[in-house]
Amino acid sequence: MKLYVVAGEASGDSRGAELIRSLRARKEAIEILGFGGPQMAALTMRTHDWIARAAIIGIIDIVKNYGYFRRQFDIALGEIAREKPDAVILIDYPGFNLRLAEALKKAGTRAKVIDYISPQVWAWNRGRIPKMARMLDLMICIFPFEKPLYEQSGLRTVFVGHPMLDSLAEKRLATGREENLLGLLPGSREREVARIFPVMLEAARLLVGTHPGLRIEAAAASEPLRRQMEELAGLSNINASCQITLHSSHSLMQRASAGMVASGTATLEAAYFGLPFVLLYKAAWLTFAIGRRLVKIKWLGMPNILADREIVREFLQEAARPADIAAEVGRLLDDPAARTALQADLLLVTQKLGDPGASGRAADAILAALADAQ
């Protein structure tokens, strides 16, 4: 059996590595190649490690890097045509992967085209779902509300639960929360950090002025981001009060009394660990303007989407004002009942993510789809 797997972001690389291990646990004789990151490349010598270049955000960056993505697209198409895999497994990354699925179907590929981790078309363009049903042979969803949306268009769909439940369970700490510790989690991309971290720092500076003894700790996702965050902290008036640690986000989510979290996967992770937090998002004005016209949902954060109400306060774009953010975080710091109520809501949200073992169920669904094709 031969599988071609494509992931384009760090989270997709993690999900891809988990899936590869689960597939091999069930069927040893599987050859795997494709595009991914360091985790996938460590498991298969035939994975292009392109994450550092591929994981960009916003329409401006996409336009600037169009030539690079066109070349990688052609490489993927050529390899699939030459290698003739039994299935092409597309992990999230819809801007690239959905175009690849469409090109494969037009080329008359015999490979099963399987999407693992649904693109969030339910947020910005549900009209694409019937088209996706024609391009894909199987959709593997990680959120429960996605399954009926795809099945209405005749697309075979399996809900497997969220794979983060397995990886995060291993990172639980036995220690409790530290009093007067504020956690800052500004994201894992350079431009994201450049826009969001200064706002977090200014809000934290205001809180230090009203909360004597408050300690500030920020989590950096990589060494280059740590250096960038130290520079930004040095430009603020809070440098001496802000500790910046490396690869510490999950620990910080469990130790902090309250936090500020950039929109993205980290908001679900923070929900899982029960961190009382507020959500921040700032993007280039063009990216945000286009997104605001396309997105058809009330909230940006997945905890709020799953709860179908704003349980976590969202501060987006021009509304991400340090004074307003500080006021809401200050409320969480000062009011134990407010923190407890938010933690209860976050627990209900994480319970909607299914049971542990998502990657194993995804592997079973893929192997079952291939068995049916024989």
pLDDT in tens, 343-372: 999 999 999 999 999 999 999 999 999 998
Judge whether 228 lies within some domain.
yes
| Full 3-state SS string of 283-312 | CCHHHHHHHHHHCCCCCCCHHHHHHCCCCC
Of 203-212, 272-281, 293-302, where does mean pLDDT reach its minimum?
Answer: 293-302
Judge whether 272 lies within some domain.
yes
Q: How far apart are CA 40 and CA 6, in angstroms?
A: 10
Judge whether 269 lies within some domain.
yes
DSSP 274: T
Instruction: Identify the band that residue 122 occupies on the pLDDT scale cut at 50, 70 and 90.
Output: low
Q: How far apart are CA 82 and CA 62, in angstroms?
A: 28
Q: Domain check: are 132 and 41 in the same one? A: yes
Q: What is the pLDDT of residue 306?
A: 93
Report the percentage of the chain scoring pLDDT > 70: 92
Q: Is the pLDDT of residue 290 over 80?
A: no
The whole-number average pLDDT for the span 167-189 is 92
> Do 305 and 311 touch, CB atoms closer than 8 A?
no
Residues 6+ apart with CB under 8 A from 79: 4, 33, 34
Judge whether 31 lies within some domain.
yes
Q: How far apart are CA 56 and CA 325, in angstroms?
A: 27
Q: Domain check: are 362 and 347 in the same one? A: no
Q: Is the pLDDT of residue 294 over 70?
A: no
- State residue 260 phi and psi, 5-degree precision: -120, 130
What pTM value is reported for the model?
0.83
Q: In 3D, which of 326, 172, 205 has the Cα closest to residue 260?
A: 326
Q: What is the pLDDT of residue 137?
A: 96
Q: Show the domain range for 57.
A: 2-163+357-373
Q: Domain check: are 222 and 331 in the same one? A: yes
> Do 119 and 126 touch, CB atoms closer than 8 A?
no
Instruction: Identify the band that residue 259 occupies on the pLDDT scale cut at 50, 70 and 90.
Output: very high
Residues 6+ apart with CB under 8 A from 372: none
Of 113-127, 284-298, 360-374, where does mean pLDDT reach its minimum?
Answer: 284-298
Q: Domain check: are 153 and 230 in the same one? A: no
CA distances in angstroms from 69 to 80, 81, 305, 374, listed in the order given: 16, 18, 31, 34
Of 131-140, 181-190, 237-246, 357-366, where does mean pLDDT reach its minimum?
Answer: 237-246
Q: Domain check: are 7 and 119 in the same one? A: yes
The whole-number average pLDDT for the span 304-317 is 94
Q: Domain check: are 344 and 312 in the same one? A: yes
CA distances in angstroms from 227 to 57, 121, 193, 222, 264, listed in the order given: 21, 35, 11, 9, 22
Q: Domain check: are 307 and 333 in the same one? A: yes
Residues 6+ apart with CB under 8 A from 215: 178, 180, 181, 182, 241, 243
**Joined tokens for residue 64:** 């600037």
| Full 3-state SS string of 134-190 | HHCCEEEECCCCHHHHHHCCCCCEEECCCCHHHHHHCCCCCCCCCCCEEEEECCCCH
> In this structure, what CATH number is given to the domain that contains residue 318?
3.40.50.2000
Report the percentage of the chain scoring pLDDT > 90: 74
> Do 34 and 4 touch, CB atoms closer than 8 A?
yes
CA distances in angstroms from 145 to 160, 298, 348, 353, listed in the order given: 12, 15, 15, 10
pLDDT tens-place string over residues 179-233 = 999 999 999 888 889 999 999 999 999 999 999 899 999 999 889 999 999 999 9
Residues 6+ apart with CB under 8 A from 209: none
Q: Domain check: are 200 and 54 in the same one? A: no
Q: In 3D, which of 101, 32, 34, 58 has the Cα closest to residue 290?
A: 58
Q: What is the number of domains present in the chain?
A: 2
Mean pLDDT of the chain: 91
Of 9-13, 205-209, 329-333, where does mean pLDDT reach its minimum?
Answer: 9-13
Judge whether 192 lies within some domain.
yes
The residues with which 32 forms a beta bridge, in sequence order, are 3
Decide which of 317 and 218 is more confident.
218
Decide which of 108 and 53 is more confident.
108
Q: Is the pLDDT of residue 300 over 90?
A: no
pLDDT tens-place string over residues 82-110 = 999 999 999 999 889 999 999 999 999 99
